[in-house]
């Protein structure tokens, strides 16, 4: 409902339907997985489920693995993980505060909570847990690669959300519970902040979300710029910001598992480089350079830009700059007034605490056991884990901190070189690797695949059912047949209603004769 809040926008209603359908698929998986557990254990109470988990199932038993895989379908759909991720970028059609709250801190992290809450079953079904961890790793890499080329400001942040939740899913599936939930918490702060700051920029742009049209907003929107920097440093896991400590804790716990988990560990650091690049690409393109015309309007007048070329010539109302769909100021479309943080104290009041927490929230779980607020808080929940809860490997932890710092600093410097010092570098790379840019910009063709092999066949089947099955079977055989049977019966009844007394007498005598004959035969 919130995704389709601007319900008179075709793109918003389509996005809402898409989110609904994909999440219903997840709901079906969740319900079926729950029924599998209930069929074997006969209870749904968490306490009783956990108490009987090891006695009711053999380790990695097929029925338990199937149940956990079905529950993973629900987790993947809710948390926008591959292959159920395509609804999240489209959900950016909703108002930006909705994106800030739901897509950063609440709804899309539900899958992380679900896996963590059922950790006993996932530990007892390591095959299902491995699927969750691998899908999370793939998602964080795929989403990060798409974020490198997206030109819609909100969709860059949306793919970032998808990627960061991939880290969390990978973490909790690999029993990195402290790191997974620590990153969930810090992500809520800096991602909500980035969405709010992005909304401020978009409002100053008069509703235009394209990075291709933005530049120079650090002079026009200094408060928004400062908040964007705080969120950007935290998202990039820059040393000593909140995301640095949470992401490093997560990857450290994953790497401490050893074995094939080292592949996930490496994937996490590759994804960290992607994160720095798309974050600072977004910041450099929106805030650096000469002010664009929209930024100049804000500098000169202190008010948001209102594009005169995007108006309804009959009513004077604005249309949506991204879709060119004529919009009026009635209910169902955004109003013509654009507010941004520099002019609205309510936005500043919301963004300042988020900015502070994005910077300092990491101190509650510092490396080497300096602080243990998160681990102490989670210990009662995960005390029964059969996986090492606090891996003791200080050398690996130190290596991770150094590696994460180097990746953040070097990637930030490279991003500065590409998009600020040598802005033509990006185009040159694109020219050298057009196939790769096309793959990323087409979002790995997931939407095209679903349109061709899922949506189109379903539409064809629906049309066939409407034109053939419904017309012949439903309308013809069922509805037409039953109505024809009633008509035939009524015609037969009407035939004996002649109105002649001798006819009725004949029917009475005939009926009595048949009844008398029946009783005579039975008495013999």
Range of the domain at 499: 450-523
pLDDT band at 306 (very low <50, low <70, confident <90, very high): low
Residue 364 has pLDDT above 90, yes or no: yes
Number of domains in the chain: 2
pLDDT band at 338 (very low <50, low <70, confident <90, very high): low
Dihedrals φ, ψ of 77, to 5°? -65, -45
pLDDT band at 313 (very low <50, low <70, confident <90, very high): very low
161 three-state secondary structure: helix
Contact 137, 170 (CB under 8 A): yes
Residues 140 and 186 in one domain: yes
pLDDT band at 375 (very low <50, low <70, confident <90, very high): very high
Residues 269 and 377 in one domain: yes
Residues 151 and 92 in one domain: yes
Whether 377 maps to a domain, the answer reads yes
Would you give the DSSP letter of residue 208?
Answer: -
Residue 308 has pLDDT above 60, yes or no: no
**Residue 42 CB burial class (10 angstroms; 0-12, 13-18, ≥19):** exposed
Distance CA 155, CA 105 (A): 16
Biggest CA pair distance of the chain: 115
Distance CA 133, CA 138 (A): 9
Residues 351 and 461 in one domain: no
Q: Which of 105, 98, 155, 164 is nearest to 136 (CA)?
A: 164
Whether 133 maps to a domain, the answer reads yes
Dihedrals φ, ψ of 292, to 5°? -70, 175
Model-level pTM? 0.86
Q: Containing H/E element for 396?
A: helix 394-416
Whether 324 maps to a domain, the answer reads yes
Residue 189 has pLDDT above 80, yes or no: yes
Residue 68 has pLDDT above 80, yes or no: yes
Residues 175 and 106 in one domain: yes
Residues 463 and 427 in one domain: no
**CA distances from residue 400 to 122, 177, 273, 395, 448 in whole angstroms, order as listed:** 26, 17, 14, 9, 38
Dihedrals φ, ψ of 311, to 5°? -135, 155
Residue 490 has pLDDT above 90, yes or no: no
Among candidate residues 441, 469, 492, the one where a domain is terminated? 441
Distance CA 18, CA 408 (A): 35
Whether 4 maps to a domain, the answer reads no
Residues 210 and 296 in one domain: yes
User: Count of CB atoms within 10 A of residue 410's CB?
Assistant: 12
Least confident range from 94-103, 214-223, 512-521: namely 94-103
Among candidate residues 413, 441, 469, the one where a domain is terminated? 441
Whether 1 maps to a domain, the answer reads no
Strand-pairing partners, residue 152, are: 210
pLDDT band at 99 (very low <50, low <70, confident <90, very high): confident
pLDDT band at 409 (very low <50, low <70, confident <90, very high): very high
Residues 46 and 185 in one domain: yes
Residues 431 and 511 in one domain: no
Q: Which of 268, 228, 9 is nearest to 133 (CA)?
A: 268
Dig out the tokens for 449 from the structure: 């695949």
Helix spans in 214-344 (H): 217-220, 222-235, 242-255, 261-287, 293-301
Residues 378 and 519 in one domain: no
Helix spans in 42-176 (H): 46-56, 62-78, 87-90, 96-102, 110-117, 119-124, 126-147, 153-173
The reported pLDDT for the residue numbered 316 is 45
Query: For the residues 151-176, what does the mean pLDDT come to?
Result: 94
- Spatial neighbors of 445 by CB under 8 A, at least 6 apart, are 439
pLDDT band at 519 (very low <50, low <70, confident <90, very high): confident
Residue positions counted in the chain: 524
Distance CA 458, CA 435 (A): 31
Among candidate residues 412, 441, 470, the one where a domain is terminated? 441
**Average of per-residue pLDDT values in the chain:** 87
Distance CA 89, CA 154 (A): 8
210 three-state secondary structure: strand
Whether 264 maps to a domain, the answer reads yes
Residues 30 and 98 in one domain: yes
Whether 228 maps to a domain, the answer reads yes
Whether 417 maps to a domain, the answer reads yes
Residues 172 and 52 in one domain: yes
């Amino acid at each position: 409902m919130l995704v389709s809040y601007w319900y008179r926008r075709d793109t918003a209603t389509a996005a809402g339907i898409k989110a609904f359908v994909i999440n219903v698929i997840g709901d079906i998986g969740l319900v079926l997985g729950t029924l599998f557990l209930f069929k074997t254990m006969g209870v749904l109470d968490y306490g009783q489920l956990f108490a009987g988990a090891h006695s009711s199932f053999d380790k990695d038993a097929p029925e338990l693995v199937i149940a956990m895989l079905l529950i993973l379908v629900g987790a993947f759909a809710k948390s926008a993980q591959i292959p159920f991720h395509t609804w999240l970028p489209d959900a950016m059609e909703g108002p930006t505060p909705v994106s800030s709250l739901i897509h950063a801190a609440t709804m899309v992290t539900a899958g992380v909570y679900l896996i963590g809450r059922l950790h006993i079953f996932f530990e007892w079904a390591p095959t299902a847990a491995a699927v969750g961890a691998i899908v999370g790793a793939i998602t964080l890499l795929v989403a990060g690669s798409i974020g490198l080329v997206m030109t819609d400001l909100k969709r860059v942040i949306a793919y970032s959300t998808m990627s960061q939740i991939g880290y969390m899913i990978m973490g909790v599936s690999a029993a990195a519970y402290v790191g997974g939930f620590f990153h969930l918490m810090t992500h809520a702060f800096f991602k909500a902040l980035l969405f709010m700051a992005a909304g401020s920029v978009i409002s100053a742009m008069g509703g235009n979300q394209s990075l291709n049209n933005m530049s120079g907003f650090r002079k026009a929107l200094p408060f928004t710029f400062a908040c964007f920097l705080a969120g950007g440093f935290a998202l990039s896991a820059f040393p000593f910001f909140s995301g640095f400590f949470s992401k490093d804790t997560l990857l450290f716990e994953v790497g401490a598992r050893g074995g094939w988990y080292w592949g996930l560990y490496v994937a996490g650091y590759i994804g960290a480089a992607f994160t720095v690049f798309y974050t600072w690409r977004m910041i450099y393109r929106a805030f650096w350079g000469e002010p664009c015309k929209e930024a100049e309007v804000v500098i000169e007048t202190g008010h948001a830009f209102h594009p005169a070329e995007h108006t309804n010539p009959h009513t004077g109302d604005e249309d949506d700059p991204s879709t060119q769909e004529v919009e009026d100021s009635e209910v169902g479309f955004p109003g013509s007034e654009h507010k941004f943080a520099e002019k609205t104290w309510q936005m500043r009041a919301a963004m300042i605490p988020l900015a502070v927490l994005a910077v300092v929230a990491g101190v509650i779980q510092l490396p080497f056991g300096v602080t243990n607020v998160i681990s102490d808080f989670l210990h009662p929940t995960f005390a029964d884990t059969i996986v090492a809860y606090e891996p003791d490997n200080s050398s690996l932890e130190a290596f991770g901190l150094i590696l994460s710092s180097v990746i953040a600093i070097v990637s930030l410097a490279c991003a500065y070189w590409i998009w600020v010092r040598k802005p033509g570098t990006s185009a040159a790379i694109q020219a050298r690797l057009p196939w790769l840019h096309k793959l990323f910009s087409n979002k790995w063709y997931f939407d095209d695949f679903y349109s061709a092999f899922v949506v189109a066949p379903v539409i064809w089947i629906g049309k066939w059912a409407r034109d053939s099955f419904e017309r012949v079977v439903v309308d013809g055989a069922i509805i037409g047949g039953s109505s024809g049977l009633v008509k035939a019966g009524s015609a037969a009844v009407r035939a004996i209603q002649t109105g002649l007394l001798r006819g009725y007498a004949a029917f009475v005598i005939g009926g009595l004769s048949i009844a008398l004959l029946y009783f005579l035969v039975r008495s013999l």
